A and B are shown apart, each in its own frame.
Chain A
Amino acid sequence: SQQGEEDPQALSIQEGENATMNCSYKTSINNLQWYRQNSGRGLVHLILIRSNEREKHSGRLRVTLDTSKKSSSLLITASRAADTASYFCATDAVWGYSTLTFGKGTMLLVSP
């Protein structure tokens, strides 16, 4: 079964509000990454957090990781219409080959 599960499946907010997306996974990981996919485009890497890290920031993005709960959250502050996209978490499992397993994504709509 897939490793990452994002929640919610879809999120609709107004510009300026914060958006929080959650990701849960099943097995031990080396790292967890978040990617963005604009409609009809490829995925773009946003941020990577390693299993020994608890929080990471990049611009308006804040990612947390709780390995005891096997969960992560992505917070986008002061959202903009250009943030409208699907957001995916991806995990690099400790076992097996070094490859990423993606969740189904959260579709974020930011209205002006």
Chain B
Amino acid sequence: DTAVSQTPKYLVTQMGNDKSIKCEQNLGHDTMYWYKQDSKKFLKIMFSYNNKELIINETVPNRFSPKSPDKAHLNLHINSLELGDSAVYFCASSPPGQGADTQYFGPGTRLTVL
């Protein structure tokens, strides 16, 4: 009965590789987000999708491409991984019509680029 789930939990890969992180929410929310949390715990919004449509792209390199096949899923694909991409990536969702009200976070995916 997990509300927001992400896979994988850990991802270790070499520089230059392409990888994907999947996110699913079973809360019926319309809006989903991807955040990046760096080693100093600073959490920054990357993307926001509402009903499968991109709303926010916060100056993220175009190596990062979100894909929303339906409103319950928001996957993150990263091309040509770089050392600086190492971080914890969190997916989140929020209820319809509530904008930036309460957000529900997934457990995170720790990405390590070697």
Residues of chain A whose beta carbon lies under 8 Å from any beta carbon of chain B: 2, 30-31, 33, 35, 37, 40-45, 48, 86, 88, 92, 97-102, 104-105
* Minimal Cβ-Cβ distance residue in A for B6: A42
- Measured CB to CB, the closest approach of chain B to A111, in angstroms, equals 21
Looking at chain A's contact residues, the main secondary structure is: strand
Q: Is the CB of B101 within 8 A of A42?
A: no
What total count of A-B pairs have CB within 8 Å?
57
Tell me the complex Cα distance, A105–B60, Å. Answer: 23
Tell me the complex Cα distance, A40–B9, Å. Answer: 10
* Minimal Cβ-Cβ distance residue in B for A97: B56
**Interface-forming stretch among B12-20, B39-47, B67-75?**
B39-47
The 8 Å CB contact of A31, one of B33, B55, B101, B108, is B101
The 8 Å CB contact of B105, one of A31, A44, A101, is A44
Q: Is the CB of B105 within 8 A of A100?
A: no
The 8 Å CB contact of A86, one of B41, B44, B90, B102, is B41
Q: Which residues of B lie under 8 Å from residue A99 when comparing CB positions?
A: 33, 45, 48, 56, 100
Tell me the complex Cα distance, A33–B105, Å. Answer: 14
Q: Is the CB of B90 within 8 A of A43?
A: yes
Q: Is the CB of B48 within 8 A of A97?
A: yes
Q: Which of B30-71 contact A (CB under 8 A)?
A: 33, 35, 40-45, 48, 55-56
